[in-house]
Amino acid sequence: CNTVEVIPDGSYSRAVLANSPPLPDWALEGRMSLSGGKEAWSANLLWQHDPAHDELKLSGPLGQGATIIRLQGETVSIDRGGGNVQTSAQPEAFINQQLGMDVPIKALAYWIVGLPATEQAYVDMPSGFRQAGWLVEYKQMQTVGRRVLPRKMTVMNGQAKLKLIIEQWVIKGEDGH
Amino acid sequence: EAKPVEQLKTFLAKTRSLTADFKQVLINEAGNPAQTTYGVFYLQRPGKFRWDYQKPFQQQIISTDGKVWFYDTDLEQVTVKKLGDSVGSTPALLLSGDIVLEDNYTMEQQGVDGDLQWIKLLPKSQDSSFKYLTIGLEKGDLSGMELSDNFGQLTRIYFSNIKHNPTINPTLFKFEAPKGVDVFSE
C-alpha cells in the first residue's frame, strides 16, 4: 500500500514537515522502548489518531499483556482488557504512575509525526528540536506516499529515554487507505 | 486414534528438542491480518527456547536458566527478566514441557478440521497475561498456536519445516549483548 523507502541520509527537516499539508487521521504500527525511569521495557505499538482522540495499544511479543491508552482532551484511560479500565484527568501523571512511562503523551502525538507541539516554545536542534524539557531527535525518516515521516526517533530528558520505531504509517485517504 | 489432549501430551513427552520456521500473524479486531512476522523457533528441554524474529524486523527472545532475554535490534535495547514475569514466555514455556499441563490449564478439544486437531488451554491462574491459547496438532505433530490477548485480538503462529530432537548448538541459547546496546535487567 505505501512505499516504505528510507531516505538515504535520513535527515530530518522541520521546515519540510511544517510546510507539507496538514495530516488527516493517521495510524502507525511499530515498536517502542522506554528506559531510565522506574523500569525498562519495550512493546509493540499500534497508534490511531484523529483530531478528537488518540488510542495507543501496547503489547508484548506474542500480543500478550496488551494495554490500551485512550486520550481524549484532558481525559486519559488505561484499559487492560476484561473491563479493567482506569481513567484520570491528569494524563501525564497517570500514565507515569500506571505504566512507569514518564512521557508527555499529548506532546508525543505531535512529535511522532515530526513536529513540535503547537502553542509551546521549542528550539531547533540539528536532527530535531528541544521542547518542554525534552530533546526530540529523528534518527531516520521514511517516504510515505508523497509525505516524509519519521521511522526511527528518540525522546529524552534527564531521566527517561523513549525510543520509537515506526514500521508502517497509514494516512487516511492517502495511498489507498 | 488417541484423543487430541493425549496426542499433545505424547508430543510433549517425546520432544526433547525442536526447531521450526514460524510465521506469526496478528489478527486485528476486524479479523484482518494486521502484522505478519517470520522467524525461527528453537526449543531445548528443559527450559531453553529461542524465538528468532527475522522479518520485517529483528527481535530475539531467548530463555535459559530461568531468565528471558528480549533483544530488539532496531531499538538497540535488551531487557532481561525472570522467566515467570516475562510476558513473552508462556507459550514457549508450555512447549518446553517443564510445567505439568493439567496443573496449570484446563484443556478442551477445540475442533478437528481435516487432520488438524486444535486443543484449547485455559490458564487456571487469573493473572495470566492471555485469556486462552490453542495448540494445533497435525497427525500428532505441532503445527500451530493461537493466543487471544485480553481484548480478544488473536496472534496466530504457523510452524513449518519442523525438525524433532535435532542437536541444537548451545550458543543459540546464550545471549551476548552487542557493543553499544543498552541492557536492563530486573
ipTM: 0.81
- Residue B161: what residue type? N
- B46, B63 Cβ separation under 8 angstroms: no
- A55, A47 Cβ separation under 8 angstroms: yes
Q: Rg for chain B (alpha carbons), in Å?
A: 16
Residue with the larger pLDDT of the pair B35 and B87: B35
- B142, B162 Cβ separation under 8 angstroms: yes
Q: What's the rounded mean pLDDT across residues B178-183?
A: 85
What pLDDT band is residue A10 in, cutting at 50, 70 and 90? low
Q: What's the rounded mean pLDDT across residues B39-68?
A: 91
The contact set of B with A (CB < 8 A) is 24, 26, 34-35, 51, 53, 56-57, 59, 61, 70, 72, 74-77, 79, 87-88, 90-91, 129-131, 147, 149-151, 153-155, 157, 182, 184
CA distance A119 to chain B (A): 31
Cell of B73: 535490534
CA distance A60 to chain B (A): 6
What DSSP assignment string belongs to A74-94? TEEEEE-STT-EEEES-HHHH
Q: Considering only the beta carbons, identify the residue of B74, B87, B153 that sits closest to A65.
A: B87
What pLDDT band is residue A8 in, cutting at 50, 70 and 90? low
Do the Cβ atoms of A165 and B74 come within 8 Å?
Answer: yes
Do the Cβ atoms of A42 and B77 come within 8 Å?
Answer: yes
What pLDDT band is residue A38 in, cutting at 50, 70 and 90? low
What H or E segment, with its residue span, contains residue B60? Answer: strand B59-64
CA distance B62 to B76: 16
A27 touches chain B (CB under 8 A): no
Does position A3 have pLDDT exceeding 60, yes or no? no
- The pTM assigned to this predicted structure is 0.86
Does position A1 have pLDDT exceeding 50, yes or no? no
Q: How far is CA A66 from CA A166, B31, B48, B149, in A?
A: 18, 17, 25, 6
Cell of B117: 486437531
CA distance A92 to B17: 46
A35 touches chain B (CB under 8 A): yes
Q: How far is CA A145 from CA A5, A74, B20, B59, in A?
A: 10, 32, 37, 27
Q: What's the rounded mean pLDDT across residues B35-56?
A: 92
What residues in A contact B62, CB-CB < 8 Å?
none
Q: Which of B24, B95, B150 to mutate to test the interface with A (most CBs of A within 10 A)?
A: B150
Q: What's the rounded mean pLDDT across residues A4-11?
A: 63
Do the Cβ atoms of A35 and B182 come within 8 Å?
Answer: yes
pLDDT at B46: 85
